[in-house]
Chains A and B, each alone.
Chain A
Amino acid sequence: MSDAVAGRITPASARRRRSSLSRSRVRAAWLFIAPPLIVLGLVAGWPLARTIWFSFTDANLNNLREYEFIGFENYLANYDGEWLGLLTDPDWWRSVWNTVWFALVSVSIETVLGMLVALILNAAFPGRGIMRAIILIPWAIPTVVSAKMWNWMLHDQFGVINDMLLRIGLISAPITWTASPDTALWTVVMVDVWKTTPFIALLILAALQMLPQDIYEAARVDGIHPIRVFFRVTLPLIRPALLVAVIFRALDALRVFDLIYVLTANSRDTMSMSVYARQQLVDFQEVGLGSAASTLIFLIIALLVVVTMTVGRLRFGEDAR
């Protein structure tokens, strides 16, 4: 049996490539992660660094080659006793407030609703698989498309929502949902709830399905009321997954752009931080100011990410070998 093939794996040829397995694997590891790291450096690291740099310049979109370093003037500057810059712009602070309010309200509602939906879908009933697919649909529809669909449904004159509410007598006159300052942000929240509750529900559902069934049987044998079981058993057990879902969603909500841009355009009442930054950058061509806003958004989210990760690291450390 030993012949030509065996000959090829003899020590003689082996001597040329002396390298233990673990060393060659580590070398391969770096080789394998180099291309994605380079790409990420190019499409994420570099643009981010440039954005931060632009925030210290007076760059204009018309000509990105010629600009001057102006320090923190985009953020805050004092001309003859008058304070100027991003940090003095009431529109910016309005957008910060809108974004934070939107994130808090929408994520809270989504969490509660998502929990309810997950609990319902966790029950065994015929058609559960189809229901799971159905609630995925709002999540999968492009945000722009769902914003347009809702825009049409919320149309102040011909919208089906106003029609329904008028028919059942909840309102006496049509509401201008997206244009009125009283309702615009709530409208955005409502559409976001429609679109992203499924995401949270599915994450919670996955956590629920990982729970051991016998503790529920034990609780039933002991005659504990289901609501008590939920708060004393289920909730503590799925808390880690719930936390991850909420944090993911919160980070997502803080960078909201598509929904607000399409649903309510550049309205001041609903403008989010991302919409504000893009408006400065593209519509007003103020790359410096827009970049300053972008940088602040990045810092806010980065801070949250770092906090999240220090919490998450503990979890990760456990399953890393």
Chain B
Amino acid sequence: MAEVVLKGVEKSFGSVKVIHGVDLTVRDGEFVVFVGPSGCGKSTLLRLIAGLEDATAGDLFIDAERVNDLPPAKRRIAMVFQSYALYPHMSVYDNMAFGLELAKATKSEIDQRVRQAARLLQIDTLLDRKPKQLSGGQRQRVAIGRAIVRDPKVFLFDEPLSNLDAALRVQTRIEITKLHSDMKATMIYVTHDQVEAMTLADRIVVLNAGRIEQVGTPLELYHRPANLFVAGFIGSPQMNFIPAEVTQTGPGNVQVRIAGGSALSLPLMPDDLRPSEPITVGIRPDHVTVGPAGPISGRVALVEELGENHLLYVDTEHGPRLTARAPGNARHRIGERVSVTFDAQSCHLFKASGEALAARGSSPTPAGSSPRMNLA
């Protein structure tokens, strides 16, 4: 169990810089997920922690020890790879025993630990098989077992579920959560799938173009995205963005006018905003209501019927296309004229720089009130 600390970590491949000075502390026993679009550097960051790549600059600490110059095996980490990376010529047992054997553990020691991990993962009947005789899910378990056996301080997962089918992915996700609560080990997990990130993480690190955009709990990221990128990346369907203009500011209040003329009064800290400054209003589809009357009018361009609820895509007269989530019993036709309203309380404002305005009072989400978070 250990804390992982990154200080000003940078990485370049040749002349291409892929990690631009990352500072991050992963607390002892925490489950942290790195998420971001492909090419954002999340895997590279994980491989830097693992020691599979050398940091170009900065310091890396695991359990208060600087590990920049340590090979992976000496960092007390274990890694689960996307392709599982099982040794194809070794049995399941030997796959799990290999690391211990290299660490010169005794035979009985190895046997006890391999069998214990195998029981935990319910693969104890597969120990004599070769990897190619296993299903994808079983291979995944062996890969995790190989990590557990080494009793590492930090578990690293590199997109471990992306090769599994949808049903197995959900199941394995639950098992990993359980594993984390059982082992109480520090875990760092890389994924491009925000559902995995939201469901697994204690805290999520959103990465973009080699930089950390925001670090926070899943709900913090959902409810209080720090910037346009995070707001757009977390949540599905994506948050609506509407160009607007500041009309007036007051203490803990910002008034804006969105394209088409509607005015909104938002309970946000105005910072140093000035009137007539361009600004972006963000509103999640969940908070957009479509009805017969309202301030913004438009036409239904597309209806996606999901059963439980529907997604309506509305082309507004003066603004962009908006996405709204409507109850499953609502009936809308393509081309129908509708009006759109949304709750000012649920709106986000983003300055031209992309930075979000803080909410008044900045109180976190009320405990117990689980928001309607529909991550497809």
Contact = CB atoms under 8 A, between A and B. Distances in A.
A and B touch in the complex (CB under 8 A): yes
A18 B104 contact: no
A9 B69 contact: no
Nearest to B104: A8
Nearest to A1: B151
A4 B73 CA distance: 16
Contact of B100 (A2, A5, A14): A5
A22 B100 CA distance: 23
B148 to A, nearest CB: 8
Interface centre among B51, B72, B74 (most CB of A within 10 A): B74
Give the bracket for the number of chain B residues in contact with chain A: 20 to 34
Interface in B42-92: 51-54, 63, 65, 68-74, 76
Given A11-B65, A20-B54, A21-B54, A5 B74 contact: no
B71 A9 contact: no
Contact of A9 (B63, B103, B106): B103
A160 B275 CA distance: 105
B71 A24 contact: yes
A5 B109 contact: yes
A9 B74 contact: yes
Given A11-B65, A19-B69, A21-B52, A4 B109 contact: yes
Contacts of A10: 76
With most chain B CB atoms within 10 A of its CB, the pick from A6, A20, A23, A24 is A20
Nearest to A25: B71
Interface residues of A, number: 19
A8 B103 contact: yes
B310 interface: no
The A contact surface, by secondary structure, is helix
Nearest to B75: A14
Interface string B223-259: 0000000000000000000000000000000000000
Given A21-B52, A21-B71, A1 B104 contact: no
Interface string B98-126: 00100111100100010010000000000
B72 A21 contact: yes
Name B's interface SS: loop
B105 A4 contact: yes
A6 B151 contact: yes
Interface string A162-199: 00000000000000000000000000000000000000
A23 B151 CA distance: 26
Interface in A139-158: none
A5 to B, nearest CB: 4
Contacts of B68: 20
B51 A21 contact: yes
Contacts of A23: 54
Contacts of B69: 18-20
B151 A2 contact: yes
Contacts of B73: 9
A182 to B, nearest CB: 60
Given A14-B70, A20-B51, A24-B71, A9 B76 contact: yes
Contacts of B105: 4-5, 8
A5 B74 CA distance: 13
Contacts of A19: 69, 71
Contacts of A8: 103-105
Contacts of B72: 21
A11 B74 contact: yes
Nearest to A18: B69
Interface string A1-42: 111111011110010011111111000000000000000000
A20 B73 CA distance: 10
A8 B69 CA distance: 18
Nearest to B71: A21
Interface string B189-216: 0000000000000000000000000000
Contacts of B54: 20-23
Nearest to A5: B105
8 contacts: A1-B151, A3-B109, A5-B109, A8-B104, A11-B74, A19-B69, A21-B51, A21-B52
Interface of B: 51-54, 63, 65, 68-74, 76, 100, 103-106, 109, 113, 116, 151
Closest 6 CB pairs of A and B: A14-B74, A5-B105, A1-B151, A21-B71, A18-B69, A11-B65
